[in-house]
A and B are shown apart, each in its own frame.
Chain A
Amino acid sequence: MLTERRFTTILLPDGAAVDELVSIDDRWVAARVMTDPDLYGLELARIFDRVWVFVGHETEIPNPGDFVTRYIGADPVIVARSADGDVHVTLNVCSHRGATVCRVECGNAATFRCPYHAWVYDNTGELLGIFAERDAYGDGLDKGTLSLKRARTTAYHGLIFATWNPDAPSLADHFSTMDFYYRIVFGLTDGGFEVAGPPLRWVENTNWKFAAENLSGDGYHLMNVHKFLDELGLIPGWSDPTMARGVTSVYDRRTGDGLQMAHFFPIDTSDLEAAMVTSTTLFGLTETFVPEIMRRLSADQLAVFAKGISAAGTIFPTLSYTALPWPTGDPAEGFSFMRALRLAQPLGPDRHVVWTWPLLARDLPGEEKERQRRTTLRSFGTAGLVEQDDAEVWSANQRGIAGVQGRQRRFRYDASRPVNPDWPGPGVARTAFPDEDNQLNFWARWLELMTA
């Protein structure tokens, strides 16, 4: 259960206390958390500098030397695979004058040469050479102390996370509760998943948390914001609230992660093997995956999976995902599956950059893979029929609270359901019409990091 806790008091310049911006007991959040430049600065230092942050997918850099450039908070980083196959995340900031040593977004390179004075680093961050070192520095500098700053880096079901925090728990510990679900979403096949290509990116005029908290558990908005799905016959019944009664919301108090699983097409599990064929197909895979899924999942995981699930959630702070049976958008192509990673990369208190990758099971037949890729980008990409309405509504939120009165309003999170005692998985689970407990849990974690 969520409980009110008291933390160190941090005062904003106008005297407001950060720990009074969120009330878990009374279930509200001050609108100011979405608008305040000082809070944004605190978030960069207290959240993004301290937690595990998603920086890319292993399949973006399959070969030695491959790299992509990303951000941890506002800090540019290089995500590179070195010659030995390991993944390294380094601060893309030259130890000499701070220039970004890599100025492209992807490529293959063993070394990075700073554009300013030509200091050269390898793709693990080691400083290999200083231009005209003897002329400039006489006997030279201790290059061992001048490497690019290195982040702790761990890949998890193909997802690469990094953190600057030496005291953060290992990623395995961090996800020890939610791995039950993440194995279902990201790790249920032997061949794993791959991203379709480089991310689609666009700017949304809204605070990153509007997207992150929404995707952690706002099933409530789906029936209204995306009701075109029903109106156009793409998903008949979508806007009917009874459709949402089978949704299970799960959160992890420790990490702030939340996800929702819906049983939109409930499957009778009395015959598990038969149910597995149906649920596996429903989850965007083919019957041939059933044996490996049954081997990879525990009995409790199978109990969740076999009923036929859709899943969407947020890995705190910024990585969201969807895994949903979904219409292709082309009546002739019918139904397919939408599996996506969606990163809400902060860009100030009132803007974020969305990064979206279609995520595809590697061992799917090529034609089905293509169908899922198209399905995902048509609904969830830059021009996504679903995404565009979310973007507009969140922009309306941001506009609404731009003024003095607006930012003093409190967002309400009153919808709550009893905990489901029969749920076979870990975390705090509720099965009913979507509640706002997952989102409140997101805020509990936010508050903890901002004040502790």
Chain B
Amino acid sequence: MTTVEPAVRRPLAPTSELGAEVWMWLTDEAELLDRRALRPWLDRLDPQIRYLMPARATVHRADGDGTFSTNHHFDETYGSLTTRVRKLAEATNFAEDPPSRTRRFVTNIRVYAGPGDDVTASSYLLLLRSRGDAANLEVLSCERNDLFRRHDDGLKLLRRDITLDQSTLGLVHLGVLL
């Protein structure tokens, strides 16, 4: 995992060229996912991507933050994400057909140059999901630590580590991507 130490590393200014590029990348991504433009979303992934959301548990302060790398809600590759996209777009999918109405709020974006020619970013994501005729919104909040690699046609996501804030997820199922 590419760990960002906020106290040590200074994020790029959002107005810098690279800072603005990543800021746009993340907000564009939220729009693609909310509009279910999933093939274009896949095109923004590096073929070597690892996409991870570890299990959380409530532990005492001395025992760390309760993130466990031994079990995951998501542990995905480009191939398995493609299968997810195909299920969402083409196949029988009771979970997401009819689709949820989702709104992904991406905030607190911090962009760092490096390591090497790669680019690192952290962001907060608030996913609101409306299903059926239920008036309540399902909520998922998380932090994402992303590693981007420069390709000829722009930055591609090479690694995403998602830190979920809930130890017990409140969504009825996680049939959408984060």
Task: List the A side residues contacting B94 at CB < 8 Å.
Answer: 225, 388-389, 392-393
> Which bucket holds chain B's interface residue count?
35 or more
State the Cβ distance, B177 to closest chain A Cβ, in Å: 9
User: What are some 19 contacts across the A-B interface (CB < 8 A)?
Assistant: A196-B70, A197-B55, A201-B167, A202-B172, A204-B172, A228-B93, A328-B80, A332-B79, A353-B168, A357-B71, A373-B71, A381-B73, A382-B171, A383-B84, A383-B174, A384-B173, A391-B95, A392-B95, A392-B173
Given contacts A104-B58, A199-B55, A205-B172, contact A383 B73 (CB under 8 A): yes
Roughly how many angstroms separate A29 CA and B175 CA in the complex, as a whole number?
A: 31
Task: List the A side residues contacting B173 at CB < 8 Å.
Answer: 202, 204, 382-384, 387-388, 391-392
- Could you give, for residues 6-27 of chain B, a 1 whenever the CB lies within 8 Å of some chain A CB and a 0 otherwise? 0000000000000000000000
Decide if B90 touches A231 in the complex (CB within 8 Å). Answer: yes
Task: List the B side residues contacting A104 at CB < 8 Å.
Answer: 57-60, 63
With beta carbons under 8 angstroms apart, the residue of B69, B77, B84, B171 that contacts A333 is B77
Decide if A333 touches B71 in the complex (CB within 8 Å). Answer: no
Decide if A202 touches B171 in the complex (CB within 8 Å). Answer: yes
Apart from A331-B83, A382-B174: 8 A-B pairs, beta carbons within 8 A: A105-B66, A203-B169, A231-B91, A232-B91, A329-B79, A378-B75, A388-B94, A389-B95
Task: List the A side residues contacting B91 at CB < 8 Å.
Answer: 227-228, 231-232
Closest Cβ neighbor of B63 among chain A residues:
A107
Decide if B73 touches A331 in the complex (CB within 8 Å). Answer: no
A377 interface residue (CB < 8 Å to B): yes
State the Cβ distance, A28 to closest chain B Cβ, in Å: 25
Decide if B57 touches A203 in the complex (CB within 8 Å). Answer: no
Closest Cβ neighbor of B72 among chain A residues:
A377
State the Cβ distance, A322 to closest chain B Cβ, in Å: 16
Decide if A330 touches B71 in the complex (CB within 8 Å). Answer: no
A110 interface residue (CB < 8 Å to B): no
Decide if A198 touches B68 in the complex (CB within 8 Å). Answer: yes
Task: List the B side residues contacting A128 at CB < 8 Å.
Answer: none
Decide if B77 touches A234 in the complex (CB within 8 Å). Answer: no
- Could you give, for residues 200-220 of chain A, a 1 whenever the CB lies within 8 Å of some chain B CB and a 0 otherwise? 111111000000000000000
Given contacts A106-B59, A377-B73, A388-B174, contact A201 B86 (CB under 8 A): no
Decide if A200 touches B71 in the complex (CB within 8 Å). Answer: yes
> Which bucket holds chain A's interface residue count?
35 or more
- Interface residues in B120-136 by Cβ distance below 8 A to A read 132
Decide if B60 touches A388 in the complex (CB within 8 Å). Answer: no
Closest A-B pairs by Cβ, 4 of them: A197-B70, A197-B71, A330-B79, A388-B95
Roughly how many angstroms separate A195 CA and B70 CA in the complex, as a whole number?
A: 9
Task: List the A side residues contacting B74 at CB < 8 Å.
Answer: 377, 383
Roughly how many angstroms separate A358 CA and B58 CA in the complex, as a whole number?
A: 20
Roughly how many angstroms separate A246 CA and B79 CA in the complex, as a whole number?
A: 32
Chain A contacts to B: CB under 8 angstroms: 103-107, 195-205, 225, 227-228, 231-232, 234, 328-333, 353, 357-358, 373-374, 377-378, 381-385, 387-389, 391-393, 395, 399
Decide if A107 touches B79 in the complex (CB within 8 Å). Answer: no
Decide if B174 touches A202 in the complex (CB within 8 Å). Answer: yes
Task: List the A side residues contacting B175 at CB < 8 Å.
Answer: 383, 388, 392
Chain B contacts to A: CB under 8 angstroms: 53, 55, 57-60, 63, 66, 68-80, 82-84, 86-87, 90-96, 132, 167-175
Roughly how many angstroms separate A310 CA and B92 CA in the complex, as a whole number?
A: 24
Decide if B87 touches A228 in the complex (CB within 8 Å). Answer: yes
State the Cβ distance, B1 to closest chain A Cβ, in Å: 16
With beta carbons under 8 angstroms apart, the residue of B55, B59, B68, B84 that contacts A107 is B59
Decide if A385 touches B87 in the complex (CB within 8 Å). Answer: yes
Task: List the B side residues contacting A202 at CB < 8 Å.
Answer: 168-174
Task: List the A side residues contacting B75 at CB < 8 Å.
Answer: 373-374, 377-378
Closest Cβ neighbor of B70 among chain A residues:
A197
Decide if A382 touches B73 in the complex (CB within 8 Å). Answer: yes
Decide if A106 touches B57 in the complex (CB within 8 Å). Answer: yes
Roughly how many angstroms separate A205 CA and B14 CA in the complex, as a whole number?
A: 41
Closest Cβ neighbor of A347 among chain B residues:
B168
State the Cβ distance, B70 to closest chain A Cβ, in Å: 3
Given contacts A106-B57, A383-B74, contact A201 B79 (CB under 8 A): no
State the Cβ distance, A123 to closest chain B Cβ, in Å: 15
Decide if B59 touches A234 in the complex (CB within 8 Å). Answer: no
With beta carbons under 8 angstroms apart, the residue of A232, A353, A377 that contacts B83 is A232
Given contacts A329-B83, A388-B175, contact A198 B77 (CB under 8 A): no
Roughly how many angstroms separate A329 CA and B132 CA in the complex, as a whole number?
A: 28
Roughly how many angstroms separate A391 CA and B58 CA in the complex, as a whole number?
A: 25
Roughly how many angstroms separate A232 CA and B118 CA in the complex, as a whole number?
A: 34
Roughly how many angstroms separate A385 CA and B82 CA in the complex, as a whole number?
A: 12
Decide if A385 touches B71 in the complex (CB within 8 Å). Answer: no
Decide if A201 touches B169 in the complex (CB within 8 Å). Answer: yes
Roughly how many angstroms separate A201 CA and B172 CA in the complex, as a whole number?
A: 11
Closest Cβ neighbor of B170 among chain A residues:
A203
State the Cβ distance, B174 to closest chain A Cβ, in Å: 4
Task: List the A side residues contacting B63 at CB < 8 Å.
Answer: 104, 107
Closest Cβ neighbor of A333 among chain B residues:
B79
Decide if A331 touches B57 in the complex (CB within 8 Å). Answer: no
State the Cβ distance, A194 to closest chain B Cβ, in Å: 10
Closest Cβ neighbor of A385 among chain B residues:
B87
